[in-house]
Amino acid sequence: MADTNNELVQEKKERKKREHKTEIVPPVVQKIDDSEQFPVEAAYLAMTFESTKKYMFELATPNMEREMPVIEVDGQRSRPIPTDKFKPYQNIVLTSQIIWKGQRRILRYYDGCTSIFADEQPKDKDDIDQFIKVTQPRAFLKGKFGAYGDEKMLLMYLNICSWNSNSPFRTRAANAIFIATDTMKIASVESAKLDETERALQLAKDASRTKMMIHAAYLGIETEDFDSGNELTDTEIRTKYRRRALQDATYFIDSYGNKAIEVKYYINQALIKGLITNKFNPNKLTWQNGKEICDISGLKSNDAIGEKAFEFSQLEDGAEFGIQLRALFS
């Protein structure tokens, strides 16, 4: 009887082996191309790195200078010990929350994993334990850390995570721990700034006297000496004008091309010189010959009248006024 039972058990095992096993095929998830809707995210995912190049990162906050220096004494000689720029060791946290496509998302870096997004990584505990086991700790030494381009996932994590103060995906609560110090990028930015400064200086040098006076007035550059009350010469004004271009090239260039500044200057000068006035009718702005320009009912100060005149000059009905105004000072 026992032999019969053993045969039956064996037969069942063999039958199970022969049975066709149905494979469970996971559903295919089609990725939606939303790169136009989220161009910044798409640009970061498309980042490429040169495999032989080392990409550097630096702690965002240097050490504060000591209020009282530490003095090193050597015999009869002593000297203050300089403060190190950065702390000697700072661990790199390899997990971070970010704002990705308008939603919170968790980043996690593992050595050997093909994604830095936690929701795309394996969920099996054994797999996760293996990733944790093989992932090497990273740290800033004397404020510096570098990774070669063949460590793409690590570099993507470091550029995207909230600990990077330059990341556009940082959460509001995240501390700014480090910044990327791509020397090529830094050089490009500095070169662009130098180009901008050179352009501003050239504009300041080549501007006509009228253009310079208009723009200088907008920039708040004094045209007379504070102590003596004497008017400054054109050379003195242009020196101040060029110095302002050097101080803030971006603002100088942006305002230089602003046509509204010129119109407001012409209106202000025309009011001062009586070329436009409200003396014939306090509720009407007119030319000095009495021809009406626009209604200024209720306005008393030159500033308010000038602002109203400027608003009128920007309308279709005020186009002729603007042309005549420029002709007075050209």
The string of pLDDT tens digits covering residues 251-260 is 898 888 788 8
Of residues 184 and 119, more confidence is placed in 119
Output the pLDDT for position 24: 42
| Average model confidence (pLDDT) across the chain | 85
pLDDT at 224: 87
- How far apart are alpha carbons 172 and 101 in whole angstroms? 15
Closest CA to 200 of 231, 167, 245, 230: 245
pLDDT band at 36 (very low <50, low <70, confident <90, very high): confident
pLDDT at 25: 45
Which whole-number Å values give the CA distances from 106 to 80, 118, 156, 265, in the listed order?
46, 6, 14, 55
Inter-residue contact 271 to 283 (CB < 8 Å): no
Q: With 80 as the cut, is the pLDDT of residue 34 above it? A: no
Question: Is the pLDDT confidence value at 69 over 80?
Answer: no
Q: Is the pLDDT of residue 76 over 80?
A: no
Query: If residue 200 lies in a helix (H) or strand (E), which one and from where to where?
Result: helix 183-206
- For position 4, what pLDDT does the model report? 54
By the 10 Å C-beta count (0-12 exposed, 13-18 middle, 19+ buried), 252 is classed as buried
Give dist(CA 281, CA 290) in Å, integer: 9
Range 306-326 average pLDDT: 89
Q: Where does the pLDDT of residue 192 fall: very low under 50, low under 70, confident under 90, or very high at 90 and above?
A: confident
Weakest-pLDDT range from 71-75, 226-230, 261-265, 292-296: 71-75
Instruction: Tell whether the model's pLDDT for residue 1 goes beyond 60.
Output: no
d(CA 221, CA 243): 10
Model confidence band, residue 225 (pLDDT cutoffs 50, 70, 90) = confident
Looking only at the bridges linking them, the beta strands covering 284-287 and 292-295 are antiparallel
> Is the pLDDT higher at 297 or at 6?
297
d(CA 248, CA 252): 6
Per-residue confidence (pLDDT) for residue 21, from 0 to 100: 45
Which band of pLDDT confidence, cut at 50, 70 and 90, is reported for residue 84? confident
What's the confidence (pLDDT) of residue 30?
54
pLDDT in the model for residue 195: 86
User: Angle 249-256/234-247 helices, nearest 10 degrees?
Assistant: 120
258 or 147: which leads in pLDDT: 147
Residue 276's CB is within 10 A of a number of other CB atoms, namely 25
CA 305 to chain centre: 39
Position with higher pLDDT, 182 vs 95: 95
Q: What is the pTM of this model?
A: 0.49
- Which is more confidently placed, 139 or 6? 139
Answer whether residue 147 shows pLDDT above 80: yes
- Contact (CB, 8 A) for 140 and 89: yes
What percent of the chain is predicted at pLDDT more than 90? Answer: 50
25 against 325, higher pLDDT: 325
d(CA 244, CA 197): 11
From 74-88, 99-113, 313-327, the region with the lowest mean pLDDT: 74-88
- The predicted model gives 1-22 an average pLDDT of 55
CA distances from 130 to 10, 109, 126 (A): 38, 13, 6
pLDDT score recorded for residue 58: 94
Q: Tell me how far apart the alpha carbons of residues 213 and 232 are, in angstroms, rounded to a whole number.
A: 12
Asked if 276 and 267 count as a contact pair (C-beta separation under 8 A), the reply is yes
Say if residues 255 and 215 touch (Cβ distance below 8 Å).
yes
pLDDT of residue 5: 55
What are the backbone dihedrals phi and psi of residue 65, each rounded to the nearest 5 degrees, phi first? -65, 140
Q: Are 170 and 99 in contact (CB under 8 A)?
A: yes
Q: What is the mean pLDDT of residues 145-161?
A: 95
More confident residue, 306 or 193: 306
Band (pLDDT 50/70/90 cuts) for residue 79 is: confident
